[in-house]
Amino acid sequence: LTFPLLSVTLLVSFGSSTLYGYNLAVVNSPAVHIKAFYNATWSQRYGHGLAPGPLTLLYSLTVSIFALGGLVGSLLVGVLVERYGRNGTLSRSSLLILLAGGFMGFSRELGSLEMVIIGRSITGLHSGRCCRAVHSPFLTAWSPTAHSQGTGEEFILPMATGSVVGIFICLGVFFAQVLGLPELLGEDRFWPLFLSVVVVPASLQLLLLHCFPESPRYLLIERNDVCGATKALRQFLGTLDVQDVIEEMKEEQQSLSSMEMVSVWQLLRDRSVRWQTLSVVVVNAGMQLSGIDAIWFYTNTIFENAGIPMSQIPYATVGTGATEVVAGLIGCFTIEKLGRRPLIITGFCVMGICLAGITFSLLLQTALPWMRYVSVTCMVGIIAGFCMGPAGVPFLMTAELFTQSHRPAAYIVGGSLNWLCNFTVGFVFPFLQMSTGAFCYLVFCGICLLVALYIYLVIPETKNKTFMEISCIFA
């Protein structure tokens, strides 16, 4: 990797992927303080506090509305990128984060719980835009031969760069857990500042992104700007001889102009790829319904129910975040060696076993106090299993199961399911936990094991295989 390409990779990942991870975990530590603020605000307005049910409902909405904003943002990406380009879309999304940080940062001073909810929805809108736009600015600086062939192999060469995105998401979660410690921003008076820290990476991205050129592939294929694409490629690749890459991009431009892109409805009705489409649905929905979102959103509550002393919970949470980063690094460096299928099957199986372990440890902790530490171990196992396989493999599989004409529609299906399931888990989990107690984790356990079984029986290994080879295996 050249220095400019690596720099823009790190910048965009820090300003986008880190924020996504941070916003997943930031509502965990200050949950008690936010609920107290909601209750006090409601009491000042209406003369009485909130009952436990409505308060849980309001807080669940605060947590899960992030995913609804993400769904809307992901559906708008195509239009925005076509109009403003990759860099322009990211810059405008950074401005949204500054607005969201203002809403959440001044919510307590203005006595408005609505500002917290609006701020969370705006951060989701930003993440929805950037999670789909974040890869192309740096990955597509490479030779696009595989793009034009539609084999999906373009995701193999840049894995060293693309995996940075997943690692930065893990780092974002870890940063939120560290800043949530009582010694830093974990106290009641600091929670608005804690939520608004998102403006820091967004501001850095907004200031520095203009130092880098637009995506070469966007400039040539979308704007037909050969000079601009040549200049950008020379800066990214660190060489003056980029004519071969330009020619390949022109071939891709001609190929795409004659290619009819498939809509979502056409994809769902296309019998030739029905098993690939079903696989995208199962893997993407299973990734979010595996219980990982519940753990990110409600880690402290889960530890509290497991009997961990309150004074130790913040540090146990940081320990899970550190495990997540390590597991993400392991997955990053082993995915091309081991393949997609073994990692994702193993990941889901480990998660299912650990979720069952949490259930049994919670049921037995009254008789056996040491079972609380089994709960912590199982939590670490869930996070490690997720980060080593299910966290990143579904994105690669979606690319490798379809040709270029079907791939955008497949991404819309997979991305929409991701956000919808994220919202469902964030909103429903507190009520599920109240109604079923320790048995709520068996729901996620069943989903993980069923998804692992489906992948084992249906989905082939996609590593180093063309679309035609994959299609023949499905047939």
The per-residue pLDDT string of the chain (475 residues; one tens digit each, 9 = 90 and over) reads 567 777 777 777 777 888 888 998 888 888 889 999 999 999 998 888 888 889 989 999 998 999 899 888 888 877 777 777 777 778 888 888 999 999 999 999 998 999 999 999 999 998 887 765 555 444 544 444 433 333 333 333 344 444 566 678 888 888 998 998 888 888 888 999 999 999 998 888 888 888 887 778 778 877 888 888 888 888 877 778 888 878 877 877 777 676 677 888 888 888 888 888 999 999 989 988 988 878 877 777 777 777 778 888 888 888 888 887 887 777 777 766 777 788 889 889 999 999 999 888 888 877 787 888 888 888 888 888 888 778 777 777 777 788 777 877 888 888 888 889 988 888 888 888 888 888 888 999 999 999 999 999 988 877 777 667 777 777 7
Which residues are within 8 A (CB) of 143 and not within 5 positions of it... i.e. 6 or more apart?
A: 244, 245, 248
Helices (H) and strands (E) in the chain, counts: 24, 0
- Positive or negative: CA dihedral 213, 217, 221, 227: positive
Q: Is 102 exposed, middle or buried (0-12, 13-18, 19+ CB in 10 A)?
A: middle
Where in the chain do CATH 1.20.1250.20 domains reside?
Answer: 1-212, 262-474
pLDDT number for residue 155:
36
* pLDDT at position 272: 83
Q: How far is CA 318 from CA 146, 296, 323, in A?
A: 41, 11, 9
Nearest-5° Cα angle at 405, 399 to 407: 25
Determine the pLDDT at residue 140: 46
Looking at residue 309, its pLDDT comes to 80
Q: Which residues of 451-475 are buried (b: 16+ CB within 10 A; e: fewer)?
A: bbebbeeebbebbebbbeebbeeee
CA 382 – CA 395 distance, rounded (Å): 20
Give the model's pLDDT for residue 158.
Answer: 41
- What is the reported pLDDT for 311? 81
Neighbours of 88 (CB within 10 A): 16
Query: Under a CB-based contact definition with an 8 Å cutoff, are residues 425 and 294 in contact?
Result: yes
Q: Taking a C-beta distance cutoff of 8 angstroms, is the pair 234, 246 a contact? A: no
Q: Cα separation of 14 and 207, whole Å?
A: 13
Q: How far is CA 272 from the centre of its chain?
A: 30
Distance CA 94, CA 473 (A): 43
Q: For residues 113 and 38, is the Cβ–Cβ distance under 8 A? A: yes
* Secondary structure of residue 475 in the 3-state scheme: coil
What is the architecture, at CATH level 2, of domain 1-212? Up-down Bundle (1.20)
| pTM for this prediction | 0.83
Query: What distance lies between CA 113 and its chain's CA centroid?
Result: 26
Q: From CA 289, how far away is CA 413, in angstroms rounded? A: 16
The pLDDT assigned to 350 comes to 92
Please tell me the distance from the alpha carbon of residue 116 to that of residue 380, in angstroms, as a whole number: 30
Write down the pLDDT at residue 160: 43
The 3-state DSSP class for residue 396 equals: helix
Cβ contacts of 51-60, under 8 Å, gap ≥ 24: 56/430, 56/431, 56/434, 58/113, 59/31, 59/34, 59/35, 59/430, 60/426, 60/427, 60/428, 60/429, 60/430, 60/431
For the CA atoms of the chain, what is the radius of gyration? 23
- pLDDT given for residue 256 in this prediction: 67
Give the CATH H-level superfamily of domain 262-474: MFS general substrate transporter like domains (1.20.1250.20)
According to DSSP, residue 439 is labeled: G
95: its two tokens: 């401005």
